[in-house]
């Protein structure tokens, strides 16, 4: 069984910020089915594309063998076409990135940390804009295909527990008004192997802190720029309890790690070292799964010039946190979110950058 072949176990009652679980019964997952059970949380997909566009295209047969071995998921078959947003900018591409953390130290009961990202690739593919949607954002969730769940407001990550990837697509499309072209899923725990294959990454720690949960039990990060190995980078990117703004701090740190991986992959000699390249690609490929129609080889060719400096990271505008019944939730700023996602829909990069500030 791969790290992606597991039962979905989202807990819509999980607290935001630095809190623990709320005292409520977890949402009942849908009946088990083949290749289901992928959980929600992050990105290495762009790293695959970056390497594919650089040195790997020269080794086409090798890359094709890696590409063919990446797991595939049926993401769109159960999504009603009549409910989907219309395509406005035909040459742009929007990818929903979902992730998992199969080795989360907090995962004593099977639940895992999760992050949801809408990655917008403009028509010219010269940049990428990545918008994180906090997992506890309170949104309308469409009714699941079996009719037993949804059809009401809930945390956005409840959609996956109730209806798998297709209901997650529906929920994100309904919330953003953006048509999702592809889906990629990432096991966030795979960051450890990926960073180690790169020989570590450089991270600028804004404020020192000590983790509550880590691979080693506890780890202290000093303020300032430093080189992190895979275990340290994973601890840095998953910590939320040490910060007053909890999950929002974790989102920022995850974005830092993603950018650092891209920058190191592009400039750290990986593309010119067969040994490093082989270790890095295998570590990356084992951590991702994609929808059935996404060709990483084609996308890699389109994104061959993309570097960390061409990425812009945003978080969906929010009003703040609060409670709905017994649940701790994040309330979206719907007016500002509409402006941001409408710019994504129309492929207006300048407006995305302005709305995301």
Q: Which of 113, 109, 110 is nearest to 42 (CA)?
A: 113
**Burial class for 219, CB neighbours closer than 10 Å (0-12, 13-18, 19+):** middle
Q: Which of 204, 191, 50 is nearest to 115 (CA)?
A: 191
Instruction: Write the pLDDT tens digit of every residue in 80-129.
Output: 999 999 999 989 999 998 876 655 555 433 333 377 999 999 999 889 99
Pick the CATH number of 45-194+270-352 from 3.10.20.30, 3.20.20.140, 3.40.630.190, 3.40.50.150: 3.40.630.190
- Neighbouring residues of 277: CB distance < 8 A, sequence distance ≥ 6: 51, 55, 56, 270, 271
- 238 DSSP 8-state letter: H
Distance from CA of residue 30 to its chain's centroid? 22
| 225 φ/ψ angles, rounded to the nearest 5 degrees | -80, 135
Global model pTM greater than 0.85 = no
Q: How far apart are CA 148 and CA 291, in angstroms?
A: 25
Instruction: Write the pLDDT tens digit of every residue in 205-241.
Output: 999 999 987 766 789 999 999 999 999 998 998 888 8
Residue predicted with more confidence, 69 or 254:
254
Element housing 341 (H / E): helix 334-345
Instruction: Write the pLDDT tens digit of every residue in 269-306.
Output: 666 676 776 777 777 777 777 888 887 767 777 776 67
For residue 342, what pLDDT band results from cuts at 50, 70 and 90?
very high
């Amino acid at each position: 069984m791969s790290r992606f072949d597991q039962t979905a176990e989202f807990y819509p009652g999980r607290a935001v910020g630095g809190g623990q679980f709320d005292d409520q019964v977890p949402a009942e997952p849908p009946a088990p089915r083949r290749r289901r059970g992928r959980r929600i949380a992050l990105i290495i997909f762009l790293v695959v594309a970056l390497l594919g566009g650089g040195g790997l295209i020269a080794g086409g047969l090798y890359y094709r063998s890696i590409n063919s071995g990446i797991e595939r998921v049926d993401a769109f078959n159960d999504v009603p076409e009549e409910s989907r947003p219309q395509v406005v900018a035909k040459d742009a591409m929007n990818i929903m990135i979902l992730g998992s953390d199969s080795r989360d130290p907090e995962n004593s009961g099977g639940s895992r940390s999760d992050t949801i990202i809408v990655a917008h690739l403009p028509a010219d593919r010269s940049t990428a804009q990545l918008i994180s949607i906090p997992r506890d954002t309170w949104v309308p969730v469409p009714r699941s295909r079996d009719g037993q769940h949804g059809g009401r407001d809930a945390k956005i990550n409840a959609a996956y527990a109730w209806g798998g990837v297709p209901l997650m697509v529906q929920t994100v499309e309904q919330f953003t008004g953006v048509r999702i072209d592809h889906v990629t899923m990432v096991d966030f725990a795979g960051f450890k192997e990926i960073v180690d294959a790169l020989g570590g990454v450089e991270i600028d720690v804004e404020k020192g802190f000590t983790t509550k949960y880590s691979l080693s039990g506890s780890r202290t990060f000093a303020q300032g720029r430093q080189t992190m190995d895979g275990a340290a980078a994973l601890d840095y990117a998953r910590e939320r309890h040490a910060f007053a703004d909890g999950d929002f701090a974790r989102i920022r740190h995850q974005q830092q790690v993603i950018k650092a991986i891209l920058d190191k992959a592009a400039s750290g000699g990986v593309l010119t070292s067969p040994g490093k390249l082989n270790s890095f690609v295998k570590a990356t490929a084992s951590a991702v799964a994609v929808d059935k129609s996404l060709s990483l080889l084609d996308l890699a060719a389109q994104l061959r010039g993309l570097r960390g400096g061409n990425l812009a990271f945003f978080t969906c505008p929010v009003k703040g946190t609060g409670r709905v019944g017994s649940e701790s939730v994040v309330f979206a700023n719907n007016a500002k979110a509409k402006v941001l996602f409408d710019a994504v829909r129309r492929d207006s990069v300048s407006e995305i950058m302005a709305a995301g500030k």
